[in-house]
A and B are shown apart, each in its own frame.
Chain A
């Protein structure tokens, strides 16, 4: 009998080991060790051919060279702006889908929101380029309507980058927003209305507090994805995009300066993680809940 119990315990341990192995290999070899390595890389400096000394030079370069931290700050500000705009654009539609549409209509609208995001970002960006470039559809239309004397270049502006970023982020805002708005009990809004509440005060005191978890989840994910985006800013912004991920690419791949690129990578990761942490703190949510919401 005791032998059987020992055997069962051994068997259980074997199963546990077999189940743990893939997870540990995945996290250790592809996430933890590479990031530790990247940290070490960012903390050293080339002293001669094949010789390295540990130093903070890479981070010092970042603060000393105005171009570097300007691009960093610019990326952060534009990403925050894009996140706020995405929330503003998505909220009324999320509200319409969650509260105004019914049954089949709601399912259809939700499906319509999803469809563009099954297609790759490359294709969607190609669409924007065809629409916005000087020889493109919208400039031709504006000229035809007499709003501009000749076709104007609509690509390569900051506003263009923002449009592209908002566009590619919409779904990640819509899904958590709809989820949190659907769970809002209609009778709460009716009660507020019966008690004399006006539209704005109901929005501010009832709807937004209730939707806060969804709003935070959406904002965290959108900010993070926008900050790390490469394709949209470089294609829609062209040489003027000055996006930080592009700096990382330049250091790593073009200049082969891995130490500097690693430091940039860590700075971007730090900003991204700080915003995620702040969002969670402000809304008093756990990381796991937010990730499951999206």
Chain B
């Protein structure tokens, strides 16, 4: 509130109305998805025909496959989960090394390198996907031509999906971890070194614990963004389908409310993860 400014009543009302409308706009699609997960009808559409848990538990007599019995869908959740774990681990590892490199090391070309580390963020995901697809295929072709080795790992499939998502999520991890490292009081490190600790011990006992919240935070961000990635994954996917691609395929065909059920599961899971993270970070800030 800017105290020195007179504000007319209707302006205040209009602002309030606009903000309320904005938040309705923001939450309407999510609310609709959640509500129709419980509608007793074969398609997620009005009218409301009563409450049911069929789309979670299944109902053989009505021929409904619920989320908990939909092997294909459950399998794709598992696939996404495994991919996201790999991407999170790789991003945090490389992000930490990058942050130390940019904030600590001195070498020629550092400015250019730190700029280069940001470029994956301004390359559209589809293009990251096709460039990695094309390059990996070329290397795989070379392998089979020169050595007669079939490098299946470089053909479309989960390893390439992991690499594709990692290629830009590593940049986000670098930014997040680097930002916290920049605020670090280097006297603490100097004190440890003066007291006779080795560089490795200082890194392990002083610097990394300080970075802890940023490491956990960037791992969670990488996990969540990997789980939700569509553009890059679409280009690199093989026979194992992650959840977003599976959902996309079914949405084009006109799916049953089982998709609403899985969406509701995603909403609850990601909200829980995010809230947990925010509580942690608030405690870390307070400490």
Contacts and interface: CB of A to CB of B under 8 A. Distances in A.
A261 interface: yes
Contact of A224 (B31, B122, B175, B228): B122
B263 A123 contact: yes
| Chain B residues touching A, range | 35 or more
Contact of B26 (A30, A135, A170, A261): A170
Interface residues of A, number: 85
Interface string B234-274: 11000000001001100110000001100100110011011
Given A35-B131, A102-B1, A248-B130, A23 B167 contact: no
A196 interface: no
A179 interface: no
A245 B230 CA distance: 12
The secondary structure that dominates the B interface is helix
B117 interface: yes
A125 to B, nearest CB: 7
Given A22-B93, A272-B122, 4 more contacts: A26-B167, A34-B134, A111-B278, A113-B26
B207 interface: no
A99 interface: yes
B9 interface: no
A288 B119 CA distance: 10
Contacts of A128: 29
Given A122-B228, A190-B2, A230 B126 contact: yes
A282 interface: no
Given A41-B134, A167-B25, A19 B105 contact: yes
A120 B135 contact: no
A232 B263 CA distance: 16
Contact of B124 (A38, A227, A262, A292): A227
B273 to A, nearest CB: 8
A130 B244 CA distance: 17
B97 A22 contact: yes
B94 A119 contact: no
A35 B130 CA distance: 9
A186 B2 contact: yes
A121 interface: yes
Interface of B: 1-5, 15, 18-19, 22-23, 25-33, 36, 43-47, 93-94, 97-98, 100-101, 105, 107, 113-128, 130-136, 138, 163-164, 166-167, 170, 175, 179, 199, 224, 227-228, 230-231, 234-235, 244, 247-248, 251-252, 259-260, 263, 266-267, 270-271, 273-274, 278
Contact of B131 (A37, A122, A170): A37
A224 B128 CA distance: 13
A212 interface: no
Contacts of B128: 31, 34
Interface in A100-147: 100, 102, 109, 111-116, 118-131, 133, 135-137, 140
Contact of A93 (B18, B113, B116): B18
Given A38-B131, A272-B124, A292 B179 contact: yes
A118 B123 contact: no
A100 B30 CA distance: 27
B93 A291 contact: no
A139 B97 CA distance: 53
Nearest to A228: B124
Given A261-B130, A272-B124, A30 B166 contact: yes
B266 A123 contact: yes
Contacts of B244: 120, 122
B102 to A, nearest CB: 9
Contact of A116 (B27, B116, B125): B27
Given A41-B134, A258-B134, A249 B234 contact: yes
Nearest to B16: A96
B135 A89 contact: no
Contact of B120 (A22, A31, A193, A276): A31
Given A126-B263, A228-B231, A231-B230, A287 B19 contact: no
Contacts of B25: 167
Given A121-B228, A129-B251, A23 B113 contact: yes
B251 A235 contact: yes
B126 A127 contact: no
Given A31-B167, A189-B5, A292-B179, A287 B118 contact: yes
